[in-house]
Amino acid sequence: MIDVRELSHAFEIGKKEKKTVIPVLEGVSFSVEKGEIVTIVGRSGSGKSTLLNIISGFIKPKHGEVWIHGEKVSDYNEGKFADFRLANLGFIFQSFQLIPSMTAYQNVELPLILKGMPEKERQQKTEETLKRVGLIEYKDHYPSELSGGQQQRVSIARALVVNPPLILADEPTGSLDSETENELLQFIQELNRDLGITFLIITHDEKVAAIGHKTIEITDGRVMEGVLA
Amino acid sequence: MNVKDQFRFVRQNMKKNKTRLFMTILATAIGCTFLIVLASVGFGLHKSIIQDVMEDSLVTEVQVHGKEAGEGNFQGIKDEDIQHFQEITGVKAVTRRQSLQQSPIFKTEDYTAQSEAVSAYFPEEVKAGFELSEGRLPEKGNEVVVGSSFADGLSLEPKEGENAFNEDGTIKEELAYKGELVGKTIEMEVIKMEDGKEIKKSIPLTITGVTKKPSKEWMQIRTVFISEDIFKEVEAFTGTPGGNPEQIEGTPEDNGRIYDSVSLYAKDVEAVTGINDKLKEDNYMVYSIVNEMRQINMVFTILKIGLLFIGTIALIIASIGIYNTMTMAVTERAPDIGIMKAIGAHPKTIKRIFVLESSYIGLLGALFGTIVAYGISYAVNLALPLVLERVFEEAPPEGLMLSYIPWSLTLISVAICLTVTIFSGWRPAKRATQVDVLKAMRREV
């Protein structure tokens, strides 16, 4: 499903002579099989978020390759990656990233609008997904009117609505309390089990890491040998 | 993302800052109104002048005023020229008239009138559109047709010391002729000067018809259309060409009939240019309204383009407001743009949404601007005659239109408005596509 090969990345800070290069990832390679839940753990600043952002196409890597679904996505331009994301990837963010001026329904419907799906079909699909995450009765609520857990479920519904084979999650439980966190993790496992969705989750939380079929530890931009479970 | 959803999206976004949106649309509307009203002055004056020119003459008419005979010499139009004109392709009729070189006095019963007498060739006049309101065309040499206002010139002799005319120049009611004209016998009194003495001759004529009233009410035709026989009779009496009462020194020898007024009538407007060119090629001096209109049109086209250009400047100023509004919108919505891009919105879709938004502002501005412009144009045309009458104490020319908004002007203005607004929204829209997803989601934009 995902094949990361010799991925290296560095950030450049400052201008011209004062430019400083800070290496973030160095020769990272790993793969994720279809139907797996893979968690990437590491301390703050270890490069795990940069790794996820590169896989998501938000950052272009300096070296190395990223293959998803047999396609070398690291060579894609912005437009092509956008189309690829819309068709193949779902996202769950730590801070939910819902559009505040849109209701829960509208937030979930958004990817389908971008896909150009007809309104009737879109309505059915959106309501179905909201039912799945247990939020159908909150469909007309704005994000500010929902709890953290509910917002994250809207965010998951938005990721699920296009039936992506792969969901990338960046600290999905980072903004949730312990009880909601458990519920969410259970839900992720359910989706993986029932729908066969592959998850790649970035976390520093052991509880989250524990649901992974495989865990990759990143330290100082490198994958630690021998810690793959 | 389909078009319907894009519009829905745009409308949703526009509702976020209604005051700013209103002010931007207002600025665009004012710019558009200014553009239309300014250009409408050019269109209005053009229309008024063209209408004025068109009312005075026929579009298919080509007047021939003579022929250049080389070395600056001028030659009148003769019968051989008429024959040549009739052979030109596209010519429907060739009318020729000769005016009597004196104004005879016409008498019927006790009524008299002094009018111009003209000899015309009726078969061609009829082909050119000559019409009678009553009676028939002359068939005999002593039969005549009179102008539609001929009767208005007939009056009884006023009593001594009295004036026959009212203040407005019309003949007093009690002196005016009220009877029928067709069938009446009139005496045409012509004169000649011999040894300083005036010798009169009276020729009896029968009126067989009256010409149709011209479309312009103020036009008065009092001409008497006499036959060629009568014309020759007058010439024989005076012994001068054209029946001039006196022999004028330097009058050229009579080398045949010379017509005073010759007009060619084309089969249609398209044929006028060809006839015109042919006559010019043959050294004839011609005048046609089509030529004049071509020149008028050229002058007004330049004027209209100039006015549109000035008006566009106003729109460009308004577009700065749109640029500002769109830039603010992109900045405010950067987090939303970031989220949309993150979940798979194509940069082109983002750009299209913002360009559509600025077009929407332009379209609304153009719509309101056009409505207001129509209102102003209507008000100006309504108020202008009153103002002119007040200021100059004189009625403005009939049909004067200071402002006229044809459909073409509305379409041009809306197109300019849309182009300017799309152009001003283009850069902010491009900026929207360059929003960094990660920075936007961290609310760092």
Do A101 and B12 count as a contact with CB atoms less than 8 A apart? yes
Is the per-residue pLDDT at B58 higher than 80? no
Residue of chain A nearest B348, judged by CA positions: A79
User: Does the CB of A77 have a partner CB in chain B at under 8 Å?
Assistant: no
The predicted pLDDT at position B129 comes to: 85
User: Does the CB of B439 have a partner CB in chain A at under 8 Å?
Assistant: no
Alpha-carbon distances of B156 from A212, A218, B111, B153, B190, rounded to whole Å? 124, 124, 5, 10, 19
Mean of pLDDT values over A15-36: 86
User: Does the CB of A175 have a partner CB in chain B at under 8 Å?
Assistant: no
Chain B hits for A98, Cβ within 8 Å: 339
Q: Which of A53, A86, A98 sits opposite B344 (nearest CB)?
A: A86
Identity of the residue numbered B46: H
Do B344 and A87 count as a contact with CB atoms less than 8 A apart? yes
ipTM of the complex: 0.91
The predicted pLDDT at position B378 comes to: 92
Report chain A's mean pLDDT, rounded to a whole number: 88
Q: Which of A53, A82, A97 sits opposite B347 (nearest CB)?
A: A82
Angle between helices A119-132 and A104-115 (to 10 degrees): 130
Pairing of strands A89-92, B224-226: unpaired
pLDDT tens digits for range B111-142: 899 999 999 988 898 888 888 999 999 988 89
Rounded to a whole number, what is the distance in Å from the CA of A177 to chain B's nearest CA? 21
Do B344 and A82 count as a contact with CB atoms less than 8 A apart? yes
Do B339 and A86 count as a contact with CB atoms less than 8 A apart? no
Torsion of CA B96, B99, B100, B104, to 10 degrees: 120
Mean of pLDDT values over B106-111: 88
pLDDT band at B252 (very low <50, low <70, confident <90, very high): low
Structure tokens at B133: 């309101």
Q: Which of B1, B347, B437 sits opposite A113 (nearest CB)?
A: B1
Do A79 and B12 count as a contact with CB atoms less than 8 A apart? no
DSSP assignment, residue B407?
H
Residue of chain A nearest B15, judged by CA positions: A101
Q: Which of A53, A86, A97 sits opposite B339 (nearest CB)?
A: A97
Alpha-carbon distances of A41 from A66, A209, B76, B161, rounded to whole Å? 19, 7, 109, 126
Nearest to B40 by CA among B431, B412, B405, B391: B405
The predicted pLDDT at position B444 comes to: 60
Nearest to A96 by CA among A144, A34, A25: A144
The predicted pLDDT at position B250 comes to: 58
Do A59 and B336 count as a contact with CB atoms less than 8 A apart? no
Mean of pLDDT values over B335-362: 91
Q: What's the CA gap between A93 and A179, in Å, rounded?
A: 18
Tell me which of B71 and B176 has the higher pLDDT.
Answer: B176
Structure tokens at B298: 């050229």
Is the per-residue pLDDT at B302 higher than 60? yes
Rounded to a whole number, what is the distance in Å from the CA of A162 to chain B's nearest CA? 10
Rounded to a whole number, what is the distance in Å from the CA of B1 to chain A's nearest CA? 4
The predicted pLDDT at position B392 comes to: 79
DSSP B118-174: EEE-HHHHHHHT--EEEE----STTEEEE-TTHHHH-BPPPPTT--SB-TTSPBPTT
Chain A hits for B339, Cβ within 8 Å: 97-99
Chain A hits for B346, Cβ within 8 Å: 79, 82-83, 86, 114
Q: What's the CA gap between B380 and B193, in Å, rounded?
A: 59
Q: What's the CA gap between B127 and B66, in Å, rounded?
A: 22
Three-class HEC string of B207-254: EEEEECCCCCCCCCCCCEEECHHHHHHHHHHHCCHHHCCCCCCCCCCC
B395: exposed, middle or buried (Cβ count in 10 Å: 0-12, 13-18, 19+): exposed
pLDDT tens digits for range A118-160: 999 999 999 999 998 888 999 999 999 998 889 988 998 999 8
User: Does the CB of A93 have a partner CB in chain B at under 8 Å?
Assistant: yes
CB A198 within 8 Å of CB A35: yes
Do A98 and B339 count as a contact with CB atoms less than 8 A apart? yes
Nearest to B365 by CA among B422, B324, B444: B422
Q: What's the CA gap between A193 and A11, in Å, rounded?
A: 38
Residue with tokens 């938000």: A58
Mean of pLDDT values over B228-252: 82
Positions of E strands within A100-213: 166-170, 198-203
Do B9 and A113 count as a contact with CB atoms less than 8 A apart? yes
Q: What's the CA gap between A174 and A157, in Å, rounded?
A: 18
Rounded to a whole number, what is the distance in Å from the CA of B380 to chain A's nearest CA? 46
Structure tokens at B279: 């006559």
Do B345 and A89 count as a contact with CB atoms less than 8 A apart? no
Do A85 and B344 count as a contact with CB atoms less than 8 A apart? yes
Do A85 and B347 count as a contact with CB atoms less than 8 A apart? no
pLDDT band at B251 (very low <50, low <70, confident <90, very high): low
Query: What is the CB-side half-sphere exposure of residue B74 using CA atoms within 13 A?
Result: 7
The predicted pLDDT at position A226 comes to: 46
User: Does the CB of A123 have a partner CB in chain B at under 8 Å?
Assistant: no
Do A86 and B342 count as a contact with CB atoms less than 8 A apart? no
Rounded to a whole number, what is the distance in Å from the CA of B361 to chain A's nearest CA? 21
Residue of chain A nearest B7, judged by CA positions: A113
User: Does the CB of B215 have a partner CB in chain A at under 8 Å?
Assistant: no
With H, G, I as helix, E, B as strand and everything else as coil, classify residue B41: helix
Do A97 and B441 count as a contact with CB atoms less than 8 A apart? yes
Mean of pLDDT values over B306-317: 88
Percent of chain A with pLDDT over 70: 98
pLDDT tens digits for range B361-410: 899 999 999 999 999 999 998 888 888 888 877 777 766 788 999 999 99
Do B343 and A101 count as a contact with CB atoms less than 8 A apart? no
pLDDT tens digits for range B427-439: 999 999 998 888 8
The predicted pLDDT at position B55 comes to: 62
CB A171 within 8 Å of CB A204: yes
Tell me which of B2 and B351 has the higher pLDDT.
Answer: B351
Residue of chain A nearest B351, judged by CA positions: A79
What CATH number does the domain located at A2-99+147-223 have? Answer: 3.40.50.300
The residues in B 340-379 lying below 8 A from A, measured between CB atoms, are 340-349
H or E, element range at B428: helix B407-433
Q: Which of B2, B343, B347 sits opposite A110 (nearest CB)?
A: B343
Chain A hits for B16, Cβ within 8 Å: 101
Do A116 and B2 count as a contact with CB atoms less than 8 A apart? yes
Is the per-residue pLDDT at A184 higher than 70? yes
Query: What is the CB-side half-sphere exposure of residue B332 using CA atoms within 13 A?
Result: 14
Q: What's the CA gap between B314 and B320, in Å, rounded?
A: 10
H or E, element range at A19: none
pLDDT tens digits for range B275-290: 988 998 888 999 888 7
Residue of chain B nearest A115, judged by CA positions: B1
User: Does the CB of A9 have a partner CB in chain B at under 8 Å?
Assistant: no
